[in-house]
């Protein structure tokens, strides 16, 4: 009797021609869905607690002013007193007017009336700095003001 060798059926190779298309589709998906942080926080902000908290509908119409003590990597240069951060740099109260003007210019003419300013302030900051910031915002007619807070415990 003759021995018949059977050939193993060959499994066809997986086509990798569409692999780059899939990779680029995933890349474009994550690029369009991901939101990047607008600015690096140079000050430490521990938000105060609030009993009534509401989310902002359109964050693209909001400009942020951060107030707190500098993070440890900046304390050697700026000290440990409370500082104001506008975008990615420390600023003085007198520079808030130019900051608001630049933020208004970045928005379209129809959106400027809906623009608001959000204060992200550390809970240990003295109220005098906040009062000075609010006075400067009044001088440049930035009257829509929000305070960032974290939701506290309900009593």
Tokens of 80: 């440990």
30: three-class secondary structure by DSSP: helix
Mean per-residue pLDDT, 102-108:
92
Tokens of 69: 């003590």
- Phi/psi for 2 (5° steps) reads -90, 140
Q: Does residue 8 have a pLDDT over 80?
A: no
Q: What's the CATH number for 43-151?
A: 3.30.420.270
The whole model's pTM is what?
0.72
- Phi/psi for 34 (5° steps) reads -75, 135
Please report which helix (H) or strand (E) contains residue 138, including its range: helix 127-139
pLDDT on residue 34: 82
Which 8-state DSSP code applies to residue 8?
Answer: P
- Residue 133 CB neighbour total at 10 angstroms: 19
| Predicted confidence (pLDDT) per residue in 18-68, tens digit | 889 999 999 999 888 887 766 778 898 999 888 888 888 888 889 999 999
Domain locations in the chain as residue ranges: 43-151
Where residue 15 falls among pLDDT bands split at 50, 70, 90?
A: confident
Where residue 116 falls among pLDDT bands split at 50, 70, 90?
A: very high
Could you identify the residue written with the tokens 């109260």?
93
- Strand locations in the chain (E): 43-44, 49-50, 62-70, 83-86, 89-91, 116-121, 145-147, 150-151
Q: Which of 35, 61, 46 is nearest to 148 (CA)?
A: 46
pLDDT on residue 117: 94
């Amino acid at each position: 009797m003759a021995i018949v060798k059977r050939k193993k059926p060959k499994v066809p190779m997986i086509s990798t021609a569409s692999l780059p298309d899939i990779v680029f589709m995933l890349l474009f998906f994550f690029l369009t869905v991901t939101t990047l942080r607008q600015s690096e926080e140079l000050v430490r902000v521990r938000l105060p607690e609030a009993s009534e908290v509401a989310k902002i509908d359109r964050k693209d119409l909001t400009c942020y002013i951060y107030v707190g003590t500098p993070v440890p990597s900046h304390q050697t240069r700026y000290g440990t007193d409370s500082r104001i951060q506008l975008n990615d740099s420390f600023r003085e109260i007198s520079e808030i007017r130019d900051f608001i003007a630049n933020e208004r210019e970045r928005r379209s003419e129809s959106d400027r009336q809906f623009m608001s300013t959000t204060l992200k302030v550390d809970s240990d900051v003295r109220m005098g700095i906040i009062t000075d910031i609010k006075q400067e915002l009044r001088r440049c007619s930035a009257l829509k003001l929000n305070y960032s807070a974290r939701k506290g415990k309900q009593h």
